[in-house]
Amino acid sequence: MLTRAIDLNLGLRGLMALVGGFLFGVTYRYAIRRDVNPQLKSGVVLAFGLVRAFGQLDAGLSFEAGKMPGLQELLPFAVAGVESVILFAIAGLVLDWAMGRSLIKPFDS
């Protein structure tokens, strides 16, 4: 019974990762179109990374009332946030590479 619960959790996390990656890819292609604007590209990556990081923070954050959280409690969330931004940055680089090689067509302006 425990293995079925683990398999279901893994399956749901995988599905969420696939849907999030798909939505990032579509949004990134639509946002940058044919522009060569590094601020726009990094803005899309940062927006998706922060939304994912804040979602993880909201889901796992529970502190005692009146007690300030210490570095020990916040460090895992900071690491997850940096990880999210890095993963979306890598996905953005892969999309740029694929569009540069004409494997993926950018949306028209």
Report pLDDT digits (tens) over 32-90.
Answer: 877 778 898 889 999 998 888 888 777 666 666 666 667 777 788 888 888 889 999 99
Is 107 part of a structural domain of the chain? no
DSSP sequence for 44-108? HHHHHHHHHHHHHHHHH----TT----HHHHHHHHHHHHHHHHHHHHHHHHHHHHHHTTSSPPPP
Structural domain span for residue 36: 2-100
pLDDT in tens, 3-41: 665 677 778 888 888 888 889 988 888 888 777 788 988
Is 77 part of a structural domain of the chain? yes
Is 105 part of a structural domain of the chain? no
Is 37 part of a structural domain of the chain? yes
The predicted model scores a pTM of: 0.75
Is 106 part of a structural domain of the chain? no
User: Given this model, what pLDDT does residue 101 score?
Assistant: 92
Looking at the structure of the chain, the number of domains it has is 1
Is 109 part of a structural domain of the chain? no
User: Given this model, what pLDDT does residue 2 score?
Assistant: 56
Is 80 part of a structural domain of the chain? yes
